[in-house]
Structures are given as C-alpha cells and as structure tokens.
Amino acid sequence: MTEDYTTHPNLAKIKIVLIETSHPGNIGAVARAMKNMGLSQLVLVNPKEYPSQVASARASSAADVLNSAQVFATLEEAVAGCQVVVGASARLRKVSWPQMDVRETAAMAMQITDAQDGQIAILFGREDSGLSNLEMDKCHYLAHIPSNPHYSSLNIAAAVQVFAYEFLMAANLKNEAELKGYKHDLATAEQLEGFYQHLQQGLIDIAFLETAKNTRFMRRMRRLFNRAQLDVRELDILRGILTAAQRQAQKLKSLLESKDV
C-alpha cells in the first residue's frame, strides 16, 4: 500500500485500471497524474513492460503509486471487489450502454465511495485500440471525455489526468461542504422529481405559471437546478420556500373567497 497522503477518503477507493498498456512511459505518466490528484490505486492488466526505468522517470515523485501498482493477468481479477466498473472512451459510442461524461462519472464515484466498502474501477484501454467488446461487456457504464470531434483520441495519461482532476474536484466540493458543517447526500433522481412537481404546482399557485403550456419552461427550470447538483438539505429548503409562498397564496385565496360570500 502507498502512504496515506490523500485528505479524501473517497479518492482512496477509486481504482485506475490500465489494460495492456504498450508504452511504459505512459504508465509512469499515469502514476504522476494520479498522485497529483490524490488517487493511489493503480491496477495494471498485462502491461507490456513493468517495472520499467522509463516508467519511473516519467512518474517523477509518484514512485510510490507506480511501485505499489497491482498487476493482474485478467480484467476479472483487476476489478474484483468493485461495485461499479466504468469504461473510459474518447468518443460517444452508438451502443445501448448507459453513457456519462467525466463530470457525471465523478459525481457517481463520490456516491459509490461514500459506502464503507464502495469501490469503483475506471478502465482505460490500449493506446492504439482502446477497450475490446468483451471488456466493454464487463462495464456497467461507459464514460466519454468531451473532445474535438476531429481528433478525439487522447494520450492515455492525459485521459487519466482529466478523470483524476474531476474526481478531485468532486471530492473537494464534498470536503468543502463537510468542513462548513453540513454534510448531506446529493438529492436522488426521485427526490428531484418530487421537487420539480412541487415547483410547478407552487408556481401555478402563486399565479406565476399558467396550468397549461409550461413544458418548455419546466425543462428550463430542470436544467438550471440539475446544474446546481442539489443536496437533500438544499432541496428541503427550496421546498420549504415553495410551501411558504403557497401558504400565502392559499390564505389570500381563502380571504378573497370569504369576501365573496
């Protein structure tokens, strides 16, 4: 095991799995990218050359991550114990696979690694040919790195750098929230759906929205609040605000009705 240099327990549970990497320099560069971003678990499946002087030179001060890499002959062994396996891909694939971008992958990784034994593996394929179809069959999700459509093939260490950066950003956001004295799970899709229903009804009640023809408007609201990645406490607050506004509207309505009588 590597020394515990990371301040993020979630990052310690993320495995970077390199499959049949050809160039040892890339393995070293991956180790450096990982350590720079606080990741420590490097897993190699049938590397062409490891250990290697070239890898060590490129790893720079990440010798600990490089030297403690786990090496396996098969992908099955490499991902044993991982709840979720994600295949990294430079481009969106026309397959019926659940697909995410890197940022979405990082959000998912935080949720999975919050569980005591929660581990996630991110697979990176060969430099020239990526992941095989059989390897993709082992993936629960595919994650693509948004890129120039005319040149979407990133160097493998560059690809790992992008993932590792998003993992650290997600962990930092989480830490920041915890340091500020609140620690709440992100709202689930179901909870968000409840909020959007409540929002729509609330906006109708306060006479902001008409009952019909608000599909496009509500889509815009969904986009806005989805971007904010609400936690459960924030969701409660927003619903509390809606309820307060609805209460005023309800009182007004009752009063107007009683006047009519």
Q: Does 7 bind a copy of itself (CB under 8 A)?
A: yes
C-alpha to C-alpha distances, 95 to 99, 141, 200, nearest whole angstrom? 9, 11, 35
Does 236 engage in binding with a copy of itself (CB under 8 A)?
Answer: no
Q: How far apart are CA 164 and CA 120, in angstroms?
A: 13
Q: Is the dihedral of CA 16, 17, 23, 28 positive or negative?
A: positive
Which of 121, 42, 117, 113 minimizes the C-alpha distance to 76?
121
Q: Is the peptide bond before 149 cis (omega within 30 degrees of 0)?
A: no
Contact call for residue 224 and a copy of itself (CB under 8 A): yes
Give the per-residue contact string, 43-62, with a copy of itself (x = CB under 8 A; - = no): -----------------xxx
Considering the complex, state which of residue 12 and residue 72 has its C-beta at the smaller distance from a copy of itself.
Answer: 12
For residue 70, state whether it binds a copy of itself (rule: CB under 8 A).
no
Question: Do residues 106 and 172 touch, judged by C-beta distance below 8 A?
Answer: no
Between 75 and 187, CB nearer to a copy of itself: 187
84-123 footprint of a copy of itself as x/- string (CB under 8 A): ------------------xx--------------------
The b-or-e profile of 66-87 (16+ CB within 10 A means b, else e) is beebeebeebeebbeebebbbb
Q: Least distance in Å: CB of 164 to a copy of itself? A: 9
Q: How many CA atoms lie within 13 A of 171 on its CB side?
A: 22
Q: How far is the CB of 140 from a copy of itself (least distance, A)?
A: 24
The beta strand positions in the chain, using DSSP E, are 14-19, 41-45, 70-72, 84-89, 99-101, 120-124, 141-144
Nearer to a copy of itself by C-beta: 14 or 75? Answer: 14
Determine which residue in the list 15, 35, 144, 174 makes contact with a copy of itself, applying CB under 8 A: 35
Q: Tell me: does residue 229 bind a copy of itself (CB under 8 A).
A: yes
> Of residues 151, 190, 212, 215, which one binds a copy of itself by CB under 8 A?
151
Measured CA to CA, the distance from residue 216 to residue 210 in angstroms comes to 12
Name the residues that contact a copy of itself, by CB under 8 A: 5-7, 29, 32-33, 35-38, 60-62, 102-103, 145-155, 157-158, 161-162, 165, 168-169, 172, 203, 206-208, 220-221, 224-225, 227-230, 234, 237, 240-241, 244-245, 247-249, 251-252, 255-256, 259
